[in-house]
Amino acid sequence: MGDKLDMTGNDIWTELRHTDRPIVIYGMGNGADKIISELERLGVRPCGIMASDDFVRGQSFRGFTVRRLCDIERETEDPIILIAFGTQRQEVIGHILALKERHTVLAPDVPVYGSNIFDHVFYRAHREELEQVYELLSDEQSRKVLHNVIRFKLSGSIDELTEIFTPRQEVFENLLCPSDDESYLDLGAYKGDTISEFLEYTHGTYRCITALEPDRKTFLRLREYAGGMERVRLFNMGIWNTDTDLCFHDSQGRGSSIGQSGGTLTPVTCIDTLFRRRKVSYIKLDVEGAEAEALSGGRMVIARDCPMINMAIYHRSEDLFRLPLLLHEINPHYRIYLRQHPHIPAWDLNLYAVTR
């Protein structure tokens, strides 16, 4: 098995550090900021920033004037274009793939949260844990996903991702198969979009729904959507490994998260508290980098009830091995699957687990 995850060659950061070709950042915002910071740490200075034509209005970013693609092509010879934003929209993915036919286009992997860059040093330090995950996976597609995602993180090659894209529908129809009698826990419920997805596959029927959303403004939207539904509990809270209050940065909408300091003091609870006296059959976790804490706070319930698990494992570089291994430790009876849904970069990488 060891050779299945034997990744040779340089990683993207080594290649960028040694290239003499101009490097252009495509996008503005947090992703671009992280990529530029990592390049600068390596002593590499991009030659420019570009954005889609509709977004170029003479603005500047990190000291660069933001330019259109046609300007880049006219003024820059043989650039390496680095995708610095995330998208799941098919038309935008299609645009990126078309751009890749004309230029060298890569998508550097920088973590949404945390500071660990998934380079060859990180890979070698955690290869044993990644190989343990490989052995735990329950089908060939999951093993292919793990292999390609690691290669993508190291190389930035978009082809590694597009090769493993599968629709979310396949998961609900073939792996999770929710019934019309689920007790559903939605952690990171946002405005109710994942409740809506759940109801689509249960034909609108369920035993009960419990949903948590810590962002105050987003919670109001969630309440507008689901507040009138029967057998639904909504909490303006975060999830953690204990019951307490934590600082919550709620200025990023869907990406709002728990922080070490600053932000708004927000109540958090744990799965074991929410379901100490009732059973849960299906848990969705997409909690902006707090997935490990959420799992740890549900040890008793997850071991007792064996709920189906639908969990994001892309927020932190270490999530790729830490979360599957933690879930297996909590309940070794799970069959664990990985799926990469269409998204550039690998921000829609999910773990699915069932025992039945």
- Same-domain check for residues 267 and 211: yes
Across residues 10-30, what is the average pLDDT? Answer: 96
pLDDT recorded at residue 279: 98
AA identity, residue 116: N
Q: What percent of the chain has pLDDT over 70?
A: 96
Give the span between the Cα atoms of 236 and 223, in whole angstroms. Answer: 9
Q: Is residue 223 part of a domain?
A: yes
Q: Is the pLDDT of residue 22 over 50?
A: yes
For the segment 264-321, what is each residue's pLDDT rounded down to a tens digit?
899 999 999 999 999 999 999 999 999 999 999 999 999 999 999 999 999 999 999 9
Give me the CATH number covering residue 107.
Answer: 3.40.50.20
Give the whole-angstrom CA distance, residue 27 versus residue 36: 11
- 98 is a domain residue: yes
Domain boundary among the residues 132, 158, 193 is at 132
Question: Do 80 and 180 reside in the same domain of the chain?
Answer: no
Query: Has residue 283 been placed in a domain?
Result: yes
Domain that holds residue 183: 168-312
Contact partners, residue 91, CB within 8 Å, separation at least 6: none
In this structure, of 14-18, 206-210, 247-251, 282-286, the range with the lowest mean pLDDT score is 247-251
230 domain residue, yes or no = yes
Tell me which of 109, 132, 155 is where a domain ends: 132
What is the four-CA torsion angle of 146, 147, 152, 155, rounded to 10 degrees? 150
Q: Is the pTM of this model over 0.85?
A: yes
What CATH number does residue 188 fall under?
A: 3.40.50.150
